[in-house]
Amino acid sequence: MPNTEEQRLDIIENCNILLNGILKPFNNTDNTPEGRMITQCRWLKEHAESHDLPLPVDRGKLGSLLYIYTNGELFTAAIPDKNVYAAEINMERIISLVKKGKLLMKPPYTPYALRSIDALIKLLEAVSRPLSQYEQGLIPDLQQLRQLLDEGKIEPPLGAYGPKYPNFIEVEDSIRDIPNGKDYFYTVSDLIFNGVRPNSWLTPEDADRETRNL
């Protein structure tokens, strides 16, 4: 599992975005979800800055982050609706970094994400057995996502598949019988919906090498 300088800096950056953005007007107190998130972000940031944050971080040290994110407390509090989506993205990225020890999907990796989407489309189009209605429906979904990503109109992570992309839910199991289907599917799913890239994509050069012959 990666434990890189990039991840360390990403933790600091995403904590700063929350601390200097939606959390800035609130007091650092344990009596409110905003205050508990301030404490959590400051703790993560300070340990990352001191190079004392091995990944993944022990779940017991992430209680406020995981509880507040899961229960949506921050989004039902005194935060303007327009800031809710941005805050959720930053929290998802922090969770991917500190809980899962993942590498974030970023613009330099877009060309290799597009290659991965193309490979999954080609795989579905070339399969010998009849495709289910959901597998057939996944192809235009993938084509749309590819175009939006290529044009910079979406920024991973997009979050859960449904209700906008329900075909992903249905195909998640059925595609497993197709050679490479599971691997290709989860690579694309992670890149787009979870906003994380494969552990082996440590650099754009690594991603280029791995996707060049897909």
Question: 10-residue block means of pLDDT along the chain (214 residues)?
Answer: 93 96 86 90 98 95 90 63 74 96 98 98 96 97 98 94 91 95 97 97 98 94
**Host H or E run for residue 197:** strand 196-197
| pLDDT on residue 170 | 94
Q: Phi, psi (5° rounding) for residue 5?
A: -65, -35
| pLDDT on residue 101 | 97
Rounded to whole angstroms, the Cα distance separating 124 from 138 reads 9
Alpha-carbon 172 to chain mean position: 17
Report the alpha-carbon angle 195-109-49, nearest 5: 65
Sketch the domain layout of the chain as residue ranges: 5-103, 107-211
Task: Give residue 119's identity as a one-letter amino acid code.
Answer: A
| pLDDT on residue 142 | 98
| pLDDT on residue 84 | 66
Q: How far is CA 98 from CA 1, 86, 92, 94, in A?
A: 12, 19, 10, 6
| pLDDT on residue 26 | 84
> How many other β-carbons are positioned within 10 Å of the β-carbon of residue 213?
7
